[in-house]
Amino acid sequence: MTKRISRPDLPLDGILVLDFSQFLAGPVSAMRLADLGARVIKIERPNGGDIGRTLAFAGLESDGDTLSFHIMNRNKESFAADLKNPDSLDQVWKLIEKADVIIQNFRPGVIERLGLGYEDVKKVNPKIIYGSATGYGSIGPFKDRPGQDLLAQSISGLPWLNGRVGDPPIPVGLAVADIFTSTHLAHGVTALLLRRERTGVGGLVESSLLEAMLDLQFELISSNLFDPNVVVKRGAGNSAHAFLPAPYGLYPCSDGYLAIAMTPIPRLGELLGVDLNVYVDPKSWWSEQEVIMKLLSSMLITRKVEEWLQVLDAADIWCAPVLTLPELVEHEGFKALDMTQETKRVGKDGKSEVLIQTTRSPIRIDGRTVKSEKGAPHVGEDTESIRQEFNL
């Protein structure tokens, strides 16, 4: 296992972040900053807190909060504040005066109506780095739609890239819009922190679920802008990519599935024991995609995944097993990456210890993994200690 990096060695140690966001894109962005050493204070409603405390991935909960909340809000403190209450708002403003970063993901116009928009905040704290995540940006016909992952995927056209010819649109089965947005927002915040070190000037960074999905498709959109005839035409057979020819795809073997990427068809046929020399011309890998894939499938189904891997790996063919979730977490390759960590917090009963197994930050710094044992806070858990510390 790799060594962990200690908190004082983390690059954002000493940075104070106020996290006004809820559920996924904003909280995960703040979590990424916390993983890199920032102190994150989550500003929550006194009654109920972040709605993410009740929106459960796979219906899983622990100690009164969803598993999703636990894993998205590790490394944070919680300050309970009613933003519509003048006394609470006054305390929040005192925190803002001392903060380095704000993260928020309200719908466009909401944070401004609360008097906490960027233009208001920078008058009080000109050096603030203000990170704002929305569903579709602050202008345009989509701006008032609910900022939700499936909806953003759908508007971006992403579901038409998945599946094969004849299939309906198939969305990605993970919150990719939220997750990518969180990464872009954290990236922008760290960039503005660097600029502030050079210039002393704060700034506003904005991103949205839709922009993250458009960026994810930069090759496709750029190709269409270059040549409008480039449109999505999903592949046949075992195809895994609308814009790559045979053999690129997933193939059933006798005990599972094998992924094969870019490989000359005649060479692959030779290794599998099927004559494909008629397909020497790479253009035929497009025109005869379905036929080629059927021929490959007829051979691959006859043996186990591991047997084919031995043959193909030895020939330096780009291939890999298609692992199930249980196979992944038990695999030595997964364990070698040391991708998990355990967070802890005191239970709501004040006695028990709540342990949550989750993934770590995917970043290594100076050869060491970034992990922390601090679990997600209870609503308002740190309110009194923060009041005393900051003389609120």
Q: Where are the domains of the chain?
A: 7-216+345-390, 249-330
282 contacts: CB under 8 Å, gap ≥ 6:
245, 264
pTM of the model: 0.95
| Catalytic site residue from 178, 281, 316, 366 | 178
- The rounded percent of the chain whose pLDDT value lies above 70 is 98
Residue range 272-281: mean pLDDT, rounded: 96
pLDDT tens digit string along 79-104? 999 999 999 999 999 999 999 999 99
Confidence grade of residue 320 (pLDDT, cut at 50, 70, 90) = very high
- State yes or no: is 82 an active-site residue: no
350 contacts: CB under 8 Å, gap ≥ 6:
none
* 140 token code pair: 């345009």
Q: Which whole-number Å values give the CA distances from 83 to 111, 262, 305, 319, 383, in the listed order?
A: 10, 55, 57, 54, 14
CATH class entry, domain 249-330: alpha beta
Q: What is the pLDDT of residue 38?
A: 98
Question: Residue 236 pLDDT > 60, yes or no?
Answer: yes
Residue range 5-24: mean pLDDT, rounded: 91
Fold (topology level) of 7-216+345-390: Rossmann fold (3.40.50)
Nearest to 202 by CA among 126, 151, 264, 143: 126
* 227 token code pair: 């040549």
Question: Residue 1 pLDDT > 90, yes or no?
Answer: no
User: First and final CA of the chain: distance in angstroms?
Assistant: 43
